Structure 1
Amino acid sequence: MVDYRIELVALPVSDVDRARAFYGDTLGWPVDHDHVVSDEVRFVQVTPPGSACSIAFGRGISEMAPGSLRALQVVVSSADEALADLRGRGVEASDIDEQPWGRFVYFSDPDGNSWAVQELPDYSAQAQQ
């Protein structure tokens, strides 16, 4: 069996510097790379803390329209802590959305690419029943 690991997701943005400031400075995600390859290509890569998957954006990286990626999700141990962290950094984030399959917080980057932040339910309590 071949292992298929998702390690990089391309994110469509309209302004590379603005996106780098949002993800790197505002969110505080480490900027792993920021390289100008040519006049047509600039590659910026950030990695959410604790994630094995990085996010790449830049010039010449994606053919998707800026702001069109609305499928990104990260998992955290506490939605309350994530919400406090996001709002403490000045990010406009939703209130916590309580669902049977988890507790969610939602936010978007300056282009409108949307993120879901999920706290998984405590399945161990269900297993004991």
Structure 2
Amino acid sequence: MHMKLELIVLPVSDVDRAKAFYESLGFRLDIDKSAGENWRAVHLTPPGSECSIIFGKGLTTAEPGSAQGLYLAVFDIEQARAELLGRGIEVSDIFHDAGGLIFHGHEGGGITHKLEGQTRKPGLHPERASYGSFATFHDPDGNGWVLQEIQQRFPGR
């Protein structure tokens, strides 16, 4: 069976504020539709992505800001971070895990745990290994995003 992840629903408290934020990231606005006072859907796609996000009114009962660990793969994390900073987005410093683990333990959204043996170290992965360098940011509601540098994908991807 062939499946693709197509759409992620984000819980937000202010649809217009969220729309402005994601457009400031450079996400493409695909749809902004309303059906009365109780339903609105805003659909945006990150540059170069086949998967999109959707948020609005009447779409989810999840608490605003409860979506965490949303990964955006970037080829050059330094360049991506600089671009987001230039757009006025607050982005963490770049970091890596000393043990080579995929980052887990996102700050914000009430998630404070980390994997046993995980040691977050400042700066790029020492070998600049794909999947090894990260930076984080949050939308205005606290939904948590992770930039992950991937220059060469694992086999089969």
The question of a shared fold, defined as TM-score above 0.5 by the shorter chain, is answered with yes
Match of 1:35 among 29, 33, 44: 33
User: Counterparts in 2 of 1:88-99, with a 5 A limit?
Assistant: 88-99=86-97
Question: Please, which runs of 5 or more residues in structure 2 have no aligned partner?
Answer: 101-130
Q: Does 1:70 align with 2:68?
A: yes
Residue 71 of structure 1: how far off its partner (Å) = 2.1
Cα RMSD (Å): 1.6
Amino acid in the other structure paired with 1:88: G
Asked if residue 113 in structure 1 is aligned to residue 143 in structure 2, the reply is yes
Q: Which amino acid aligns with 1:48?
A: P
Number of residues of Structure 1 aligned to a counterpart in Structure 2: 122
Distance 2:26 2:152 in 1: 28
% of aligned pairs identical? 47
Contact (CA 8 Å) 2:75, 2:151: kept in 1 or not?
A: no
- Give the equivalent residue in structure 2 for 1:49: 47
Task: Find the aligned partners of 2:152 and 2:44 in 1 and give their Cα distance.
Answer: 29
Deviation >6 Å, runs of 4+ = none
TM-score, structure 1 length as denominator? 0.89
TM-score by length of 2: 0.74
Higher helix share: 1
Distance in 2 between the 1:97 and 1:89 partners?
21
Q: Which runs of 5+ in 1 are unaligned?
A: 125-129
